[in-house]
Structure 1
Amino acid sequence: MTSPGSCQHQADTFDNSIQRQRLFPFWSGGVAILFLAFGLELLPPFGAEPSTLYPLLMLGAVLSAHWLGLWGGIFSSGVLSAYTLYKILVISDAITLQGALSLNLLGTIAAALLIGVRQDNHFSEPLNQAVGDGSEAMLLGILDIANDPIISVDASQRINQFNKGAEKVFGYQADEVLGQSLDLLLPKRAISIHHKHIQKFGASRSTARMMGDRSEVFGRRKDGTEFPAEASISQLQLGDEKVFTAILRDSSDRKRAETELQQAKEAAEVANQAKSGFLANMSHELRTPLNAILGFSQLMHRDPALTSAQKEHLDIINRSGEHLLELINDILEMSKIEAGRVTLHKTNFDLYNLLETLIQMLDLRAKTKGLQLTCDRAPDTPQFIRADEGKLRQVLINLLGNAIKFTESGHINLRVHAGPIQAQAASEAPQLCLFFEIEDTGPGIDPSEIKQLFAAFTQTETGRKSQQGTGLGLPISHRFVKLMGGDLTVKSVVGQGTTFQFYLQVTLGNEVDHKPQPMAQRVIGLAPDQPAYRILIVEDRMENRKLMVNLLQPLGFEVREAENGKVAIEECDRWRPHLIWMDMRMPVMDGYEATQYIKAHIKGQATVIIALTASALDEERAQILATGCDDFVRKPFLEDTIFEKMTEYLGVRYIFEKPQPLSPQPAMEVTASQLSVMPTEWLAELHQAAMSARSTRIETLIQEIPEEHSILAEGLTDLVSNFNYEKILTLTQP
């Protein structure tokens, strides 16, 4: 049982119509053209049933000429043939197939039948009379329902068929062009080419072909305008006469759309390049001054004459600078994502070590708030994997950091397990899914806010109350997880907590050597029995040169400066430094050109060149290394990173400061009862200052706290230093 309107239902209906007209013992070649069975199989001796009939393509065109030329006497009913052709055209909707060869052949069939009825002398007089009145009109109607131009010409290129579609496209009426040369419809420059093509095609054995595969086909309208076209052409031999039929499709709209698409693509590329240029410039302009701020605060910490108050102030400067750097990094990272400039950098790394390092780094923050931070790693978790370690670290830091920030009591738990290893070819590394889950006992997220959770620059109600962050951490994490072949989801119950879950597609990695851990002690000098290391600082900004000189020279390094690449080359020739710290963006001559010049000469090949750059673009790292730099350090940098790189490339050994025993200091917990000693007006002002994250105003208010309540003052100062305005808001809530 078939449903009305289905393809099978339409085929069944058509089959029944044929069965009712079996009074005709033979089928014409014109009908045979439209079916997938050979013409001879349709004759009664072979017992073919109409239910076996299906549309025929190329072979049918050849059979039509054969049947029309030799079997005209058994062409039982031209009317039936025309009706059958009409039904196939309508049912199969073949006339909508753009530029398809099958459409061209159907047009050819109709034209061949029409011409055959007019010219074939094998028809008997009664048959001619029967078909002359009905079949010819029906076939003309079939041609006219086609939206595309169908044009037939004889061997001398005279037009003998011009349908309604052709009239619409070319602007001529049929009686204006019938009997005229096809040259009338061609641009002058294309006439000779077209004639050569038709002559070559006519001499070939091909029955049909597409035109325009080597060069574009153009038509010319009555008003003289030209238009691009898709065209297919076929030929039929009718006795001594050859007939060519073409079907065209005006492709002006498609060409216009393609042009507009290409222009839009080029405009988007220009916009992306502009975005990349903007990112590079903004990264340089923001990171460069931060490099000086954070760098000099590290240098000042080295002064043994600093008082505890001065050290505390430097700590505040340093924390504020690092917080600003985090915000800048988030904004630049989101801009890179939007500009499509984020790529994966897969390496082999130790997953166990990564997880342990993160927990150690974040544990102090959790304990300060009285929270328990744990990591449960399932036994099936592989130790060594190949993935983008940097992006995985950033995702985990974002999710764990948010959990610590918004959870006031309870625990945060990180759970990791692996899925089954997926079968791979013998030459490929095994793949598997890693599953991560971060669960907290925080305030939870309202269901109405979850849909917007991963949208850039949006925050939940809890996030807005905290007056912290940019609303970019989760969107960046979500994009990174997607980029690594996974997905990030969230489940939350208001008042109970939130669980973020994500998975990644990774491959099993090879065992790797652990990277050297950051120096736990401060460097205070160079160990004895070492060469006198010559270090060249190449930097256009005076403050950054001074920072590096003041960092390295007191330790015992020999240091010289150069303000651009040209001066660096001169110093390199005269002084032969062991290592060059090279800024990449400088006037006169940049670091790229200077590095290429130095590394191109034998004297310079032994010199280690490490790039110092404020760029945020990952692809710039590859460009810098390709220039000849041995390594790459981003601004702003930690002093330990500078020392570690010189140990890695020169083998430098250091003398370290002896660690001072530290008495444990419990975290200062501010309570509402402690704040109750302050006036109501003071508490209201503190609440308003915390709402606006005005740290300067809060510090002024803290100075008004009586000396006998110094613990309260120290606790509030600690909250401000850690940007924990949410805690202050909670404590001062009216």
Structure 2
Amino acid sequence: MSRKIKTTTVRDKKNKIFQLPKNLPISYLLVIPFVLEIFAVVGIVGYFSFRNGQQAVNKLATQLQTEVSERVTLHLDNYLATAKHITQINARAIELGLIDLNDYQTSGRYFWHQIQTYQNVGYIDYILPTGEYVGAGRWLEGRGVTIDEISARTNWNSYTYTTDPHGNRTEMVYESDYAPLEETWYQETVKAKKPIWNQVYAWEDFPDILSVATSFPVYNSDSSLIAIAGVDLQLKGFSSFLRNLEVSPSTKIFVIEPNGLIIADSSKEPPYKFENGEAQRLKVFASQDRLIQATAKQLQQQFGSFERIDREQRLVFDLDGKKQFAKVTPWQDELGLDWLVVVAMSESDFMAEINANSRTTIFLCLAALIMAIILGLKTASWITKPIHRLNDASSAIAKGDLEQTIEIRGVKELNILAGSFNQMASQLKISFAKLDRINQELEHRVEERTVEFLKAKKTAETASRAKSEFLSNMSHELRTPLNGILGYAQILQRDRSLTSQQIRGINVIYSSGNHLLTLINDILDISKIEAGKLELFNTDIELEPFFAGLEDIVRMRAIEKNISFASQAVTPLPTGIIADEKRLRQVLLNLLSNAIKFTDTGEVILKVSASYATATEESNLQTFRFEVVDTGIGMNPQQLDKIFHAFEQVGDLQRQQEGTGLGLAISKQLVELMGGKLQVSSESGKGSTFWFEVVFPVIEMKNRKAIERQNRQIVGYQEDSKHILIVDDREENRLVLQNMLEPLGFKITLAKDGQQEVDLALKTKPDCILTDLMMPVKSGFEAVKEIRRFDSFKDVVIIAISASVSDAERRQSRSFGCDDFLPKPVEEVKLLAALQKYLQLTWIYETKASLQNESVVTEAVSLKAPPPEEMEKLYELAMLGSMKKIKEQAMYLEELDQKYAPLAAKLKNLANGFQEKAIVNLIEQFL
């Protein structure tokens, strides 16, 4: 009894927890939870769908802004490049004398033809320091392109002429007292002494036309100003481009200066307004476009001023209760322009369809609720009818009607269904519990893998930085002793009192040091390539001396192996190109050196051809094809597969020991950086051909007189004595530079750190400072920056000499005030060339008479000279110190003609005695 009472009590307590209201219809119990569940699920789905839509819109707006900004900046680069290109062409033509500055008729007609080609160019001109002026442009309404002139012939007034369809002047239609020398753009260009952009301005008579002008000063050889070439570029074409960009209905794109003045925008509003009867350029805050104005105010509010925006920025703000997205991108170019590109767009442009979908979702939710209520009520009736019959039967039995026959249709099915449902629910609960555990385990594994990945990435980045720092430090440490080795080797090579054996020893030292330096440079280059930091630095290259220098280096190597070397221009070549001279020479030398290395007999040929990269010859781009053909040992297919891999070498063991295995790998990357592809074809035993094609801009260069090969040394200079301050914390580096320069007549002062550099510079006022950059007490960077602050030292030549050869340090040295940068080890030729350039020196060379002994001169008079090409070969062999090949060449001269026998006998006699200097002196008599 007590057990039953206890059980009933516990059961009552449990039932109270889930107690339902009295007399609750079962239809409600079935319908209401079902309807609430559907409402909750549909609502949650609709909410997250709306949120996901908003996030997608934000992402889309960001991507769209980035794409539009990139298109605008790219078009801006191309648009402004027209003016810079025309100015550069005209300045180059003035330098080359192609434009006669005193022939105003021809110059004006030339500008007239130029401006016909470029619709967005408003004016092209040049002005002389004397006030003469010639220009052509579209500024006189209804007159087309006119030509302006200021000269003595025009009484120093500005005459404007109309023109015929051929650019010839027809009549003078306008006269003014325009004084270009008083213009701000002229004075700014003279002061800058380099090409610059002038301020954006509105045309006086046509304020809706904005223009920006670029000016290019042209100097003669003594740095005197000849003329200033200029081009005015109209900006209305760029505004049209902005208006034609199809982004979204309310998107606004505008370009402004840091002072807030509008350059161009995508609205149709004119870029000016009238104040006191005068047209003034429109500031962005005064724009009638509300989105442009609101975006500008938000930028000013967030950053204080436009001038503080130095990198890409994004912001989100509300306008009229609608969210707006804006992106501002700073744009600059090398001539001084500093503009901001702003893209602003409204969220509503992208949310319209999402809002429509939301309304559809709400309507579907309501429809689903109504259908759920109807179906719920119908289902409740199907279920309650059997229950009612069961209740009636139960009531009858409770009243004592035991004879009742209970027939309830569907009761068994309901019980089975309930049992099945409970069983299914139980299984589902177990399944979901297992799934939840699996998800937690997966999330845990993902977190662990993510942590491992981040650790591995951090380790790799640390290792990469350590590798770069190690290579940089090792390069610095190795270049410092190499500077002493190669420096003193170059100094000793100038000593005419050395014996042949001593000279050969010094040459071995210099050659070995250069080999080590090449290895260091190759390792640094491959490291830069792997890090993606290798860049090209293009300069003007005169092709004739470029190939001549290349041939001199390669021919000597070919002579050493007794093989033939030839350089062929397959097609006529231009006088000059624009390319990275150092890297192009590096690629060709690598290919030629490899060809000679793997060729024992036969020949090595360098073939060069050029063709126009476009359909017309008016383009300045040409495709150059370089081929290196040899008759060497060749390669099999297996070797061809790996020759371009770093540290991979083919061929026999002896040849592998001659190199590093980096040359072809670096050459391949350099060619690809130039826009080409290095290719090879080879057959074992029949030689190899390496070739590549690249496109270079072609330029016309003045023909320089070929540098005559001479074995003469610089012994001084004609100008007054120059004072040079040498600064380096290593004594051996200071002594190398001192011993290189002091014998030439330079006055030398030495300093061992940056502080001494500043003190001695102020005290001695040198003509030139040669300074290391990394020093104790005060670095070279700090010293140069401090020295440049003094007005009296603004024009003093400062050349950085550093064992660090990174591009960043080169640029940094120039930004701190250095005029040039020379890497260690210092090459005497480059050092003297830099001093000659910046100090305007005229070298004094040792005379040939000082190199010759009288007996050789007297004897040479009676000897018969062979053809010049044979003497050239002898000269090269003598410079290489190859006594064996000199004797072989002498025997060949005897066989060629008996009249050369005396000379051949003399050469063999001198070669047997290893009298290298005497051989050189003898041969020079016939050159």
Band of TM-score, shorter chain: 0.5 to 0.7
Residues 1:526 and 2:716 are matched in the alignment: yes
The answer for the alignment partner of 1:567 in structure 2 is: 756
Map Cα deviations across residues 164-221 of structure 1 (whole Å, 9 max, x no partner): 779734899xxxxxxxxxxxxxxxxxxxxxxxxxxxxxxxxxxxxxxxxxxxxxxxx8
The structure 1 residue matched to 2:810, chosen from 598, 601, 621, is 621
Residues 1:467 and 2:670 are matched in the alignment: no
- For 2:359 and 2:455, the matched residues in 1 are separated by 45
Q: Give the letter for the 1:292 counterpart.
A: G
The answer for the alignment partner of 1:168 in structure 2 is: 435
Contact 2:604 2:628 in 1 (8 A): yes
Task: Call closer, same or farther: CA 1:62–1:648 in 2, change over 3 Å.
Answer: same
Contact 1:611 1:632 in 2 (8 A): yes
The structure 2 residue matched to 1:292, chosen from 484, 489, 502, is 484
Contact 1:537 1:581 in 2 (8 A): yes
Partner SS for 1:288 = helix
Q: Give the drift of 1:368.
A: 3.8
Q: Give the drift of 1:472.
A: 1.6
Contact 2:575 2:699 in 1 (8 A): no
Q: Give the letter for the 1:457 counterpart.
A: F
Task: For 1:156-195, list aligned pairs within 5 A.
Answer: 168-169=435-436
Partner SS for 1:364 = helix
Map Cα deviations across residues 323-376 of structure 1 (whole Å, 9 max, x no partner): 332233323333333344422223343345433431233123223433232233
Q: Give the drift of 1:261.
A: 5.2
Residues 1:361 and 2:515 are matched in the alignment: no
Contact 2:754 2:777 in 1 (8 A): yes
The answer for the alignment partner of 2:780 in structure 1 is: 591
The answer for the alignment partner of 2:795 in structure 1 is: 606
The answer for the alignment partner of 1:318 in structure 2 is: 510
Q: Give the drift of 1:444.
A: 0.8
Map Cα deviations across residues 590-618 of structure 1 (whole Å, 9 max, x no partner): 21121111112223322211011122323
Q: Give the drift of 1:548.
A: 1.5
Q: Give the letter for the 2:470 counterpart.
A: F
Task: Call closer, same or farther: CA 1:577–1:122 in 2, change over 3 Å.
Answer: farther
The answer for the alignment partner of 1:389 in structure 2 is: 581
Partner SS for 1:461 = coil
The answer for the alignment partner of 1:327 in structure 2 is: 519
The structure 2 residue matched to 1:646, chosen from 818, 821, 835, is 835
- For 2:459 and 2:814, the matched residues in 1 are separated by 30
Partner SS for 2:628 = strand
Q: Give the drift of 1:582.
A: 0.5
The answer for the alignment partner of 1:490 in structure 2 is: 680
Contact 1:459 1:471 in 2 (8 A): yes
Task: For 1:495-510, list aligned pairs within 5 A.
Answer: 495-504=685-694, 506-510=695-699
Task: Call closer, same or farther: CA 1:386–1:71 in 2, change over 3 Å.
Answer: same
Task: Call closer, same or farther: CA 1:399–1:121 in 2, change over 3 Å.
Answer: same
The answer for the alignment partner of 1:701 in structure 2 is: none
Task: Call closer, same or farther: CA 1:507–1:490 in 2, change over 3 Å.
Answer: closer
Map Cα deviations across residues 14-50 of structure 1 (whole Å, 9 max, x no partner): xxxxxxxxxxxxxxxx9xxxxxxxxxxxxxxxxxxxx
Contact 2:621 2:696 in 1 (8 A): yes
Q: Give the drift of 1:564.
A: 0.9
Task: Call closer, same or farther: CA 1:256–1:167 in 2, change over 3 Å.
Answer: same
> What RMSD over aligned residues (CA atoms) do the two structures have, in Å?
4.8
Q: Give the letter for the 1:342 counterpart.
A: L
Contact 1:366 1:373 in 2 (8 A): yes
Partner SS for 2:678 = strand
Residues 1:443 and 2:710 are matched in the alignment: no
Q: Give the drift of 1:263.
A: 5.0
- For 1:352 and 1:124, the matched residues in 2 are separated by 101
Task: For 1:34-49, list aligned pairs within 5 A.
Answer: none
Q: Give the letter for the 2:603 counterpart.
A: H
The structure 2 residue matched to 1:412, chosen from 583, 592, 604, is 604
- The worse-fitting range, judged by mean Cα deviation, of 442-451 and 62-71 is 62-71
Contact 2:476 2:803 in 1 (8 A): yes
Q: Give the drift of 1:496.
A: 0.8
The structure 2 residue matched to 1:434, chosen from 624, 643, 657, is 624
Contact 1:615 1:634 in 2 (8 A): yes
Partner SS for 1:487 = coil
Q: Give the letter for the 2:732 counterpart.
A: E
Task: Call closer, same or farther: CA 1:282–1:451 in 2, change over 3 Å.
Answer: same
Q: Give the letter for the 1:486 counterpart.
A: G
Q: Give the drift of 1:124.
A: 9.9
Q: Give the drift of 1:583.
A: 1.1
TM-score by length of 2: 0.46
Task: For 1:128-167, list aligned pairs within 5 A.
Answer: none
Partner SS for 2:652 = helix
Task: Call closer, same or farther: CA 1:293–1:439 in 2, change over 3 Å.
Answer: same
Residues 1:537 and 2:804 are matched in the alignment: no
Q: Give the letter for the 2:784 counterpart.
A: T
The count of residues paired between Structure 1 and Structure 2 equals: 491
The answer for the alignment partner of 2:235 in structure 1 is: none
The answer for the alignment partner of 1:721 in structure 2 is: none
Q: Give the letter for the 2:768 counterpart.
A: L
The answer for the alignment partner of 1:102 in structure 2 is: none
Q: Give the letter for the 1:168 counterpart.
A: L
Task: Call closer, same or farther: CA 1:66–1:330 in 2, change over 3 Å.
Answer: closer
- For 2:450 and 2:746, the matched residues in 1 are separated by 63
Q: Give the letter for the 2:789 counterpart.
A: A
Contact 1:279 1:616 in 2 (8 A): no
Task: For 1:218-297, list aligned pairs within 5 A.
Answer: 264-297=456-489
The answer for the alignment partner of 1:103 in structure 2 is: none
- For 2:837 and 2:787, the matched residues in 1 are separated by 21
Partner SS for 2:503 = helix
Q: Give the drift of 1:570.
A: 0.8
Asked which structure has the greater CA Rg, the reply is 2
Contact 2:479 2:803 in 1 (8 A): yes
Task: Call closer, same or farther: CA 1:311–1:254 in 2, change over 3 Å.
Answer: same
Map Cα deviations across residues 211-247 of structure 1 (whole Å, 9 max, x no partner): xxxxxxxxxx8xxxxx9xxxxxxxxxxxxxxxxxxxx
- For 2:609 and 2:449, the matched residues in 1 are separated by 50
Contact 1:341 1:617 in 2 (8 A): no
Q: Give the drift of 1:503.
A: 2.7
Contact 1:280 1:615 in 2 (8 A): yes
Q: Give the letter for the 2:657 counterpart.
A: Q
The structure 2 residue matched to 1:476, chosen from 629, 647, 666, is 666
- For 1:666 and 1:351, the matched residues in 2 are separated by 23
Structure 1 regions of 5+ residues with no counterpart? 1-29, 31-55, 76-115, 146-161, 173-220, 222-226, 228-249, 675-707, 716-734
Task: Call closer, same or farther: CA 1:411–1:631 in 2, change over 3 Å.
Answer: same
Task: Call closer, same or farther: CA 1:622–1:438 in 2, change over 3 Å.
Answer: same
The answer for the alignment partner of 1:635 in structure 2 is: 824
Q: Percent identity?
A: 35
Q: Give the drift of 1:448.
A: 2.0
Q: Give the letter for the 1:608 counterpart.
A: V
Q: Give the drift of 1:289.
A: 1.4
The answer for the alignment partner of 2:495 in structure 1 is: 303
Q: Give the drift of 1:275.
A: 2.4
The structure 2 residue matched to 1:655, chosen from 815, 834, 844, is 844
The structure 2 residue matched to 1:347, chosen from 539, 549, 555, is 539
Map Cα deviations across residues 357-404 of structure 1 (whole Å, 9 max, x no partner): 312331232234332322333437555433322212101000001111
Residues 1:457 and 2:724 are matched in the alignment: no
Q: Give the drift of 1:118.
A: 8.8
